[in-house]
Amino acid sequence: MDESSPALAIDIGGTKLAAAVVEVGGRVVTWAQVPTPRELDGEQVWRTLESLVGRVLDEAGRPASASLAGVGVGCGGPMDWPAGIVSPLNMPAWRAFPLRSRLQEQFSGVPVRVHNDAICLVAAEHWRGAGRGKDNVMGMVVATGVGSGLILDGRVIEGASGNAGHIGHVVVDPDDAQVCGCGARGCLEGIARGPALAAWAQGQGWRPDQPGATAKELAGDAAQGHPIARAAMRRAGRALGIAIASATYLCDLEVVSIGGGLSQAGAMLFDPLHESLREHTRLPFARRVSVVPAALGQSAGLVGAAALILAGHRYWTGD
């Protein structure tokens, strides 16, 4: 390996497993993904990942670990960090799975680093995306769950247990009728995560004959002008605006970048978001925050995982 070697990046989520070879500058050279296996045990999921990684390295012409700068991994939490022993909420097959050490056996001689997917997202946006050149950035994911990573005063914030950035459980309306998966009332995630939003719309009479209709279908109907679907998007946008206002006041943020499936809904989501954000940020310093869709879009997770290696002095504070 030399200083210009690329990194292997891996992104582990409840919906898909993705892998890529990423150049020093942040460009994704080659990548592939597979649906996250269901009904398989932990070892079978590991072999699925091994095979995906092998395919990507072959395509990039980098079959040997010696030709890599290292392996960076973003994974859903919770995890034991920096040990990289992972138990992703949405992947029951992996409970206390020693992901970092298993990868280290495969890629001996180069660094292997595993971090929360939200940290990877904010690292990506800070390194090569919407937060470039800024010192105070929140990178959010709005999808099946709602989470974020924080960079404050130019440094990744870990918090007491590596859980800083849990914006999904910031309270946006303590009297809201909808109960979050965590058991509390009025959490951002309880209102704005895709499945909660679809459930709310169904409660209002949207697609009554199709139980289990998805947030993607909801966004599609909203784009067609369906009044309940549009109200659902306003509800999510308003909740996001309130939570971002609170985070901006508390952390004095410059940039908030929003990725994840629901963020692709565009103005239907961002217009009410900006409206409630303006309503709740009156002091001049808070007014300056810029809230934008994630510049790196769906590749942010992979680019951020690569940043743990290629810009590790900025984004990796573990061992």
Residues that bind a second copy (CB under 8 A): 78, 134-136, 150, 152-153, 155, 157-175, 182-187, 242, 245-247, 249-254, 276, 279-283, 285-286, 288, 317
For a second copy, the closer CB: 70 or 139: 139
Q: How far is the CB of 209 from a second copy (least distance, A)?
A: 33
Q: How far is the CB of 234 from a second copy (least distance, A)?
A: 14
List Cα–Cα distances, 34 to 51, 138, 218, 226, in angstroms.
10, 28, 25, 33
- Round to whole Å and give the CA distance between 12 and 32: 12
For a second copy, the closer CB: 69 or 138: 138
For a second copy, the closer CB: 163 or 264: 163
- Round to whole Å and give the CA distance between 48 and 30: 18
Phi and psi, residue 95, nearest 5°: -125, 120
CB 310 within 8 A of CB 15: no
For a second copy, the closer CB: 23 or 252: 252
CB 259 within 8 A of CB 225: no
Name the CA dihedral angle for 123, 129, 133, 138, rounded to a multiple of 10 degrees. Answer: -50
Q: How far is the CB of 273 from a second copy (least distance, A)?
A: 14
Q: How far is the CB of 138 from a second copy (least distance, A)?
A: 9
Beta strands in the chain (DSSP E): 7-12, 16-22, 28-35, 70-75, 79-80, 85-86, 97-98, 112-116, 137-142, 146-152, 155-156, 255-259, 290-293
The SS3 of residue 316 is: coil
List Cα–Cα distances, 248 to 8, 244, 262, 291, 315, in angstroms.
34, 6, 21, 10, 21
- Round to whole Å and give the CA distance between 132 and 57: 29
In this structure, is the dihedral angle defined by the CA atoms of residues 237, 242, 246 and 252, taken in order, positive or negative?
positive
For a second copy, the closer CB: 219 or 289: 289
- Relative to beta strand 70-75, strand 112-116 is parallel
- Round to whole Å and give the CA distance between 209 and 211: 6
CB 37 within 8 A of CB 44: yes
For a second copy, the closer CB: 105 or 153: 153
Q: How far is the CB of 146 from a second copy (least distance, A)?
A: 11
For a second copy, the closer CB: 158 or 221: 158
Q: How far is the CB of 186 from a second copy (least distance, A)?
A: 8
Q: How far is the CB of 63 from a second copy (least distance, A)?
A: 38
Q: How far is the CB of 244 from a second copy (least distance, A)?
A: 10
For a second copy, the closer CB: 172 or 265: 172
